[in-house]
């Protein structure tokens, strides 16, 4: 299974989701069965590490996302990944305007069967917004792990 997390610039939500899911896959003993990556709709931050606020909250929760680097989604991602998860409706709209492949495209929180559908972008917010993002990511990633256990 190959899962790609996508947000606008790949410096807040999607690399944080990648880091949380990787950590939880390792804990669940599924790290060898699932490959996780992240990308941005745009390439503005290509090569940049995640937002410092995201890194700080991640570190406080036991995740290390400091080594991740932003990249822009590529056309071959739509056929090399099984699932592409956008963080909000605008991400999904942009993804569906790109050349399609065999990947399932869904909202991260839909795929995780959460009550909310969109992961609000904390970029223009404060540390509390980043904490709330990680709260949702952890719940969502736990649900994804349960879903994967039933599929693998």
Q: Catalytic residues, which ones? A: 7, 13, 121
Q: Any idea what DSSP says for residue 7?
A: E
73: left (phi over 0), alpha (psi -120 to 50) or beta: beta
- DSSP SS3 for 124: coil
Q: Which of 78, 74, 54 is nearest to 126 (CA)?
A: 54
Phi-psi region of 106 (alpha: psi -120 to 50; beta: other; left: phi over 0): beta
């Amino acid at each position: 299974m190959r899962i790609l997390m996508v947000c606008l610039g790949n410096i807040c939500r999607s690399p944080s989701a990648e880091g949380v899911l990787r950590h939880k896959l390792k804990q669940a003993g599924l790290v060898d069965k699932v490959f996780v990556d992240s990308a941005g709709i745009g390439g503005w931050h290509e090569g940049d590490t995640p937002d410092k606020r995201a890194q700080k909250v991640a570190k406080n929760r036991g995740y290390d996302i400091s080594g991740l680097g932003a990249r822009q989604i590529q056309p071959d991602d739509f056929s090399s990944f099984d699932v592409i998860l956008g963080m909000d409706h605008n991400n999904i709209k942009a993804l569906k305007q790109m050349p399609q492949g065999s990947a399932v495209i869904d909202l991260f929180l839909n795929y995780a069967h959460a009550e909310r559908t969109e992961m609000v972008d904390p970029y223009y917010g404060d540390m509390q917004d980043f904490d709330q993002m990680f709260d949702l990511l952890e719940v969502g990633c736990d649900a994804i792990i349960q879903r994967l256990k039933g599929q693998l």
